Amino acid sequence: MNIAARLEAMAEPGGVCISGTAFDHALHKVDVGFASLGEQRLKNIADPVRAYRLLLDPAASGKVTAAPHRPGSRVMILAGAAALAFAVLAGIFAWQKFSVSSRPSVAVLPFANLGGDPGQDYFADGITEDLITDLTKLSGLDVIARNSVFAYKNNPAALADVARDLGVRYVVEGSVRRTGEQIRLNAQLVDTATGENLWANRFDRGMAGVFAVQEEMSGEIAKALGIQASAAESERMARPPTENLEAYDYYLQAETASRSVLQAGLREALALYEKAEGLDSAFAEAFAADARTTVYIWREALNDIIQSAPAQKRAYEKASRALELEPDLSSPYAILGIMQVVNRRYEDAIASAKKAVSIGPGDAEAQAALGYVQLCAGNYTEAAAAVETALRLDPNLSPINREAAGLVFLLQGNVEKAIETLERARDDAPTVGNFRFTLAAAYVRGGRLPDAKAEIAAGLHLVAGSSYVDSLAGWQMTHAHFRNPQDLAILVNALRQAGLPQWRYGFTPDEHDQLKGAEIASLVIGHTLQGQIEPGLQPAFLQIGSDGKAAFRTTTRLVTETVYVDGELLCEQSENLFGRPDCGPVYRRNDTAGTGYSYANTSKVFHFMVVQ
């Protein structure tokens, strides 16, 4: 006979009893209450079983109470004693685990959407994210970041397992039911070391009261954890993100689209952020999220969405607007830190990233940004400390931030930790080729050359010419903001050993055919070049004036730029590629007429003839 049948037999007439495992899965996902019956010894079941009686009274929905005490047999007393001893031991082991940080640690699991409309999932997700954001504002609390807790969305697990996996003691879980303009929120806070429900509440409000509910929830959770918010923290938590509910709805939809990291989703997100901003020009969090998404597009050179120069301008403007509206937001400072370090403004970048962390000490993305900034500035110890904190706050740190952490460990000399971190980034985003290249560099440094070559081959197949880091020239361009030149040399030399080509699209010229600087200047300055670019040999023109002002045209884009010769290389400089010069050699092609040439740089391979 199984556990369910034994529990059914001990239920009161017309009542229902369930196990602790069923309770963990059902709490706040159904509109009923529960009465804890404690640990029960069941016939033919070796171990005690937690049991709960369902309370069907609507007034009890979402609540957990203790059942009235009933005298039991000596067996039950002994079982209770055993359960108490087990709880004490469990508490000791739990405290050993949680002692890594002296502050309380909490994970907010994704709130379940009980409204019956999957299209409202974004709203339940938004409630979860806002609660995480509010709790992160408390300097006395470690809060697990969104990426880690959302791994449990539609993937329920026992709270003890969640706590163990995320390295926390406390877990918040709940549900949202939205019906028209009415919402019902149920939530509870559990101490997983003891199994005690420290706090639980139900909120029935109109949509106009949603922000007041969020403030009330975060305040009650902080109080239950024994945390006294400072006056500034209380003020930040009490401040609603916007008074415009339609703008808030667009913002939540944009966040869902942005998190997909798919190009279609990113485009949709930018449009939705703009709708939110248009409805409320003082909606600081919408401007900050817009900046975060735009910076991702800029860093990844997703030029099909926004070209590099306008993306950089947009991100600066949106982040600056967010800070103008709400100076105590952490994310805009993290965004500015990343942009400043890419532009080699190292001290400004460090100051911005440190400001982000001081505002949001529990913000894993801010910690990751600080780590990357410190790495680029050559401060390896500080970089490692920041990314270690980020990984502790968010065990499921996003792949792009995990790649940055792997770079920190690699250039710090902790090769094994770098490999472990970069393998996780690869496994979490198996279709992203860029992460394969970084892992390949770590494998070379770790003496695993065959593995490195395999990652290069996989990465080249995945990017298929869509990323600038598919060549050594691309790495030298996109990572040129490392303050210590030796760091970039380490990466490039490792990638060369792993088999990453010097130029894109498999271009392998004969070095004997390379033109000298004076030959290049005489050939191209003041002339029009006509030909095809790789891949696919698309038609292209490069018109260069005698003053070096130029325009490069294909069937899909037009770039205005300045062209000049530097040593033995032809250089193009525009607002794209972070405003850096893009230089490369020119080779004479072995065609029958002897009039064909090839020009290779970070962004293109251009086969051309001089036509004017």
Residue 85 tokens, joined: 């001893």
Q: Average the pLDDT over 554-564 and give the result.
A: 91
C-alpha angle 349/354/355, rounded to 5°?
100
Domains 100-238 and 510-610 in one fold: no
Residue with tokens 């026992």: 158
Q: Average the pLDDT over 230-238 and give the result.
A: 74
Distance in angstroms (rounded) separating the CA atoms of residues 440 and 469? 13
Specify whether the CB–CB gap between 56 and 91 falls below 8 A: no
Prior bond of 535 cis (ω within 30°): yes
Residue 598 tokens, joined: 């090839």
Q: Average the pLDDT over 202-229 and give the result.
A: 86
Domain 100-238 superfamily per CATH? TolB, N-terminal domain (3.40.50.10070)
Model pLDDT, residue 92:
32
Return the higher-pLDDT residue of 437 and 71: 437
Q: Report the chain's mean pLDDT, rounded to a whole number.
A: 84
Q: Average the pLDDT over 505-523 and give the result.
A: 92
Distance in angstroms (rounded) separating the CA atoms of residues 198 and 285? 31
- Using DSSP, state whether 174 is helix, strand or coil: strand
Q: Average the pLDDT over 325-341 and give the result.
A: 94
> Does residue 504 surpass a pLDDT of 50?
yes
Percent of the chain beyond pLDDT 90?
A: 48
Q: Which of the residue ranges 39-43, 128-132, 522-526 would you say has the lowest mean pLDDT?
A: 39-43
Specify whether the CB–CB gap between 202 and 140 falls below 8 A: no
Q: How many CB atoms lie within 10 A of CB 489?
A: 12
Residue type, position 47, single letter: D
Model pLDDT, residue 367:
95
Which conformational region is residue 154 in: left (phi greater than 0), alpha (psi within -120 to 50 degrees), or beta? left
**Helices 399-412, 380-393: inter-axial angle, 10-degree rounding:** 140
Give the residue extent of every domain in the chain.
3-97, 100-238, 510-610
CATH architecture of 510-610: Beta Barrel (2.40)
Residue with tokens 């916007």: 242
> Does residue 29 surpass a pLDDT of 60?
no
Structure confidence by residue, pLDDT tens digits, 524-542: 999 999 999 998 889 999 9
Model pLDDT, residue 6:
62
Model pLDDT, residue 457:
96
Per-residue pLDDT band at 23 (split at 50, 70, 90): low
Specify whether the CB–CB gap between 257 and 272 falls below 8 A: yes
User: In angstroms, how far apart are the furthest CA atoms of the chain?
Assistant: 104
Which residues have C-beta within 8 Å of that of residue 144, sequence separation ≥ 6?
Answer: 105, 106, 107, 108, 132, 166, 168, 393, 394, 395
Distance in angstroms (rounded) separating the CA atoms of residues 129 and 111? 9
Structure confidence by residue, pLDDT tens digits, 560-571: 999 999 999 999
Torsion sign (Cα): 84, 90, 93, 94: negative
- Using DSSP, state whether 105 is helix, strand or coil: strand
Distance in angstroms (rounded) separating the CA atoms of residues 234 and 215? 9
Q: How many CB atoms lie within 10 A of CB 552?
A: 22
Distance in angstroms (rounded) separating the CA atoms of residues 371 and 403? 11
